[in-house]
């Protein structure tokens, strides 16, 4: 699908977007510093800006069933003259008739209220809600209207860790059922879990865009030049794994889970289910590289990898672009190591090495 349009106001160009997004993308992430035009882009996609030249076409109708859009803002934008229940009922009253194949067909108001844990808030005026509560109600309100495309503008920013994880997983499940999502966020983790495609905006222009795999390592590099409130999170990789037999093995008080990546056994305390795939997160800073299999080590995860490229960063350290070497299909893995280590270990593109790491 082509996303090509410009937005002008008072003879000033606010936004110029030109992206070719491959078919099959379920969730698009928009990121960039404050004032880059992320929210404006979202408004354009929702059809809320009238001064556009060229219509942005998100997800052709032949690829997906409809073009009904739901939007969730960072502060909820709940109607202050209604209670929480009033806001939800408002959305319900204007819900269209949807087919059984719709990703939200099975979710009634009570099931969404349950999942988003807002039962106790239903009779409250929305002015009494905290930021996180308002965000949850706003997402439920948008979902109740059964959108085909959901636009999320920093919609999880005020949620606590547990709820954020739970609800992002839930939205991820909806994406795998066919809901299309565009998400604006400063939190790289949220974007990485949900999105297949990234658009990097700055000053109203697309600086870079591409698949998640291609764009993830760039995010940290970009973050060096962005403002501090931006993407100050480490680079990480998400490895698709299979559950090992006896998935949850309790080791004392530490609930370590076991997974398989090809023939290699991996250990992690948590995992994500992203579009029906089980993934574990590996921070690039937590990877130790060795030329030979490390043998006995407290780092239980040891993966044979292949170095594709060594990229020098502005801080003097290097980003290794690697691929796993197991019986399973190769997967990207990133590591950040010092230039000294590169020199001492004589690392170069094309080398076979071992990556040891602690997974979360």
Partner 1 sequence: MDYEAIFLTLKLALFTSVILLAFATPLAWWLARWRHPLRPLVNAVIALPLVLPPTVLGFYLLVAFSPNHWFGATWLSTTGSTLAFSFTGILIGSLIYSLPFAVQPLYNAFEHLDKRYLDVAKTFNLSRWLTFWRVIFPLTRSAFMTAVGLSFAHTLGEFGVVLMIGGNIPGETRVVSIALFDHVESLNYSAAHQLAFVLLVFSFVMLAILYRLNRKQLSSWT
Catalog residues that contact partner 1 under the rule CB under 8 A.
Answer: 10, 43, 46-48, 68-71, 73, 77, 79-81, 90-91, 94, 96, 125, 127, 142, 145, 147
- Residues facing 240 on adjacent strands: 279
CB-nearer residue toward partner 1: 149 or 337: 149
| Collapsed DSSP state (helix, strand, coil) of residue 309 | strand
Tokens read off for 186 = 């400063």
Sheet hosting strand 69-72, strand order edge to edge: 52-53, 2-9, 12-20, 205-211, 197-202, 27-31, 180-184, 149-153, 69-72
Torsion of CA 231, 24, 142, 38, to 10 degrees: 30
Identify which of residues 142 and 289 has a Cβ nearer to partner 1 in the complex: 142
Cβ-based nearer residue to partner 1, 35 or 96 = 96
Would you state the structure tokens that stand for residue 356, as one six-digit string?
């040891």
Q: Which two tokens stand for residue 233?
A: 């999170």
CB 202 within 8 A of CB 36: yes
CB of 52 to partner 1, least distance (A): 15
Nearer to partner 1, 145 or 195 (CB): 145
8 A C-beta contact, residue 268 and residue 240: no
CB of 71 to partner 1, least distance (A): 5
Through-space distance between the first and last CA atoms of the chain, rounded to whole angstroms: 36
Closest approach of partner 1 to the CB of residue 138, in Å: 9
What crossing angle do the helices spanning 131-144 and 161-176 adopt, rounded to 10°?
Answer: 10
The residues near 172 (Cβ < 8 Å, ≥ 6 apart) are: 193, 194, 272, 273, 274, 275
Closer CB to partner 1, residue 142 or residue 347?
142
* Residue 319: strand, helix, or coil: strand
Phi, psi of 110 (to 5 degrees): -70, -35
Q: How far is the CB of 24 from partner 1 (least distance, A)?
A: 25
Closest CB 64 distance from partner 1, rounded Å = 17
At residue 122's C-alpha, the angle toward residues 117 and 128, to 5°, is 95
Three-state secondary-structure class, residue 60: coil
Choice between 68 and 358, CB closer to partner 1 = 68
Smallest distance from the beta carbon of 152 to partner 1, in angstroms?
A: 13
CB of 165 to partner 1, least distance (A): 26
Residue among 262, 221, 226 nearest 241 (CA): 262
Least distance between partner 1 and beta carbon 46 (Å): 6
Tell me whether residue 30 or residue 261 sits nearer to partner 1 (CB atom): 30
Residue 10 beta carbon to partner 1: minimum distance, rounded to whole angstroms = 7
Residue 48 vs 105, nearer CB to partner 1: 48
Nearer to partner 1, 94 or 312 (CB): 94
DSSP letter at 329 equals P
């Amino acid at each position: 699908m082509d996303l090509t349009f410009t937005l002008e106001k008072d003879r000033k160009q606010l936004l110029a977007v030109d992206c070719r997004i491959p078919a099959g993308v379920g969730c698009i992430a928009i990121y960039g510093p404050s004032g880059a035009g992320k929210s404006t882009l979202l408004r354009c996609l929702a059809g809320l800006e009238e001064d556009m030249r060229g219509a942005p076409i998100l997800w052709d109708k032949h690829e997906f069933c409809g073009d009904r859009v739901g939007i969730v803002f960072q502060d909820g934008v709940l109607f202050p003259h209604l209670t929480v229940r009033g806001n939800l009922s408002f959305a319900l009253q204007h819900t269209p008739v949807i087919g059984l194949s719709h990703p939200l067909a099975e979710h009634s108001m009570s099931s969404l209220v349950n999942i988003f844990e807002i039962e106790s808030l239903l009779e409250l005026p929305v002015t009494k809600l905290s930021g996180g509560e308002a965000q949850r109600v706003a997402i439920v309100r948008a979902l109740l209207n059964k959108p085909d495309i959901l636009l999320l503008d920093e919609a999880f920013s005020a949620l606590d860790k547990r709820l954020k994880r739970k609800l992002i997983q839930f939205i991820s499940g909806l994406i795998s059922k066919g809901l299309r999502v565009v998400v604006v966020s400063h939190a790289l983790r949220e974007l990485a879990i949900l999105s297949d495609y990234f658009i990097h905006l700055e000053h109203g222009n697309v600086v870079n865009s591409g698949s998640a795999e291609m764009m993830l390592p760039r995010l940290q590099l970009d973050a060096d030049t962005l403002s501090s409130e931006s993407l100050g999170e480490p680079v990480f990789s998400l490895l698709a794994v299979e559950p090992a037999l006896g998935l949850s093995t309790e080791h004392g008080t530490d609930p370590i889970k076991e997974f398989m990546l090809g023939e290699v056994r991996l250990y992690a305390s948590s995992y994500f289910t992203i579009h029906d795939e089980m993934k574990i997160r590996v921070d690039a800073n937590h990877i130790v590289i060795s030329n030979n299999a490390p043998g006995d080590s407290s780092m239980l995860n040891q993966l044979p990898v292949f170095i594709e490229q060594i990229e020098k960063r502005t801080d003097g350290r290097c980003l290794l672009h690697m691929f796993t070497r197991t019986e399973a299909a190769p997967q990207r893995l990133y590591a950040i190591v010092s230039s000294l280590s590169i020199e001492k270990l004589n690392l170069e593109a094309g080398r076979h090495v071992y990556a040891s790491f602690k997974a979360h």
